[in-house]
Amino acid sequence: MHGAFPSSTLDKQTIADSLTEILHHSFRKSLGFCTLQSEHKMSPTKILHTLLAILSLWPLRSALAQTSPPPLPNLELPALQSAGPLGADLFLQSGSTGMVLVVVRDNQVFFHGYGETAPNSHQLPTQDSLLRLCSLTKIFTTDVLSKLIADGTVHLDEPLQRFAPRRTVVPKRVQPITLADLATHTSGLPRELGTPPRGTPHFTFPDYRTRWRWLPNQRLRTTPGTAALYSNVAFDLLSDALQSAAHKQYAALLADRTLNPLRMQNTTFFPNPEQCNHLLIGAHDEGPCTVTEETAGSSGLYSTATDMEIWLKYLLQTGSPVTSTQNQAAQVIYILPSALVSQKGLDHAGDPTGIGLGWIHILPTDAPSHIIEKTGGGAGFTTYIAINHASHTAIFLAATDGSGDAHVNFFNAANNLLLAMSGLPPLPPPPPKPVVKRKHKRRKP
């Protein structure tokens, strides 16, 4: 099959609107949200810091302006069916019990199930097998965020404090936590609130009351917006903020704005007994299939390969006659890692070159092999979505834990599967991590 790469995947107005929002956000943060009134005149030092903050955004402007690779000549793209053997190789090396693979190129779709639905079931996973999306839930949260930004309900630079329960004080460090900080893992909050009580089902902790009682007592690890630390609790707080802004329970808000319009009928926080009977099971007991609304912003969604096919078409923005397409600004880069003091927990699939609203970018945006991705894992599942806009190709994988050892970096292998289906060479292997020699300390008697 012959396929031409598009010359552009983001229109200039979208880029301009995104840049304006980011500049506005950063400018206000650099001013500490002060107004330029006579009684609050800025000192020369403050003015200098403000100018430096704005100048630091020019690299980001370049990143946004290069959100699509240059046009390439027509290439012979592999048939989608060739994804089958590639998926089989990945599955065997992963040591998983079961796995599903969905590949979408434009409006063409490939699906394959590998392994078993549960150990010794001797049944292949199907398109209707129930899956835990884990942290892929976050890109549904930022989809709702982008829609509420578009209709003026919220703004990226609004402080979380504005959406907090009454008499709850959100901690600050130099400047307040904003919605943008929560969505880009730069809030200064830790990865988790704490360890769930023993016997707590997966993705049911912490609930709304627990996290909002916990938050006022926290000391932020970094100044918001200056360092990235992957945070699940930040995304649960983000969904709480969207719920407050829209005056609607977040699960209902997600259904109204995203799931119902896309007819994703099996994507839910509330699986029924019939759906739970089709949940893929790994090699270990991961507890019950139950309601996961408590972590609706970070990790609680269940879904199926059928629904994820719809989701990939939506993300690819191919203009399918049967589905709408995502707002293009939802996938752009909002922070350059090089502008941060540090970043941790964002490199599971490769070194990030850009941080978006829940999304991570790999390789320069003007490279044909540029990938936009989101990883997930937990409750016996590993999940992944990766997009190559240059070839209009996207993949979704969900795999359950096996009893043996994995012999492959799952996310890196998935990236190479995506690039192979895009007619592009594989990524270079990640460099080996240096061996750290540890001093053996004598135990105290």
213-270 confidence digits (pLDDT tens): 999 999 999 999 999 999 999 999 999 999 999 999 999 999 999 999 999 999 999 9
368-387 confidence digits (pLDDT tens): 999 999 999 999 999 999 99
Q: Does residue 431 register a pLDDT over 90?
A: no
* Angstrom distance (rounded) from CA 369 to CA 39: 52
Q: Does residue 352 register a pLDDT over 80?
A: yes
175-206 confidence digits (pLDDT tens): 999 999 999 999 999 999 999 999 999 999 99
Quote the pLDDT of residue 405: 83
Q: How many CA atoms are closer than 13 Å to the CA of 176, on its beta-carbon side?
A: 20
Beta pairing partners, 402 = none
Q: Does residue 67 register a pLDDT over 80?
A: no
Nearest alpha carbon to residue 262 among 402, 346, 147, 369: 147
Of 71-85, 222-236, 399-413, which range is least confident?
Answer: 71-85
CATH code, 12-36+43-421: 3.40.710.10
Quote the pLDDT of residue 321: 58
Quote the pLDDT of residue 319: 58
Quote the pLDDT of residue 89: 97
Which one is predicted more confidently, 432 or 87? 87
Q: Could you tell me which residues come within 8 angstroms of residue 374 by beta carbon, excluding any fewer than 6 positions away?
A: 135, 136, 138, 139, 358, 359, 360, 384, 385
pLDDT band at 320 (very low <50, low <70, confident <90, very high): low
Which one is predicted more confidently, 35 or 70? 70
The ranges assigned to domains in the chain are: 12-36+43-421
Q: How many CA atoms are closer than 13 Å to the CA of 293, on its beta-carbon side?
A: 13
pTM above 0.75, yes or no: yes
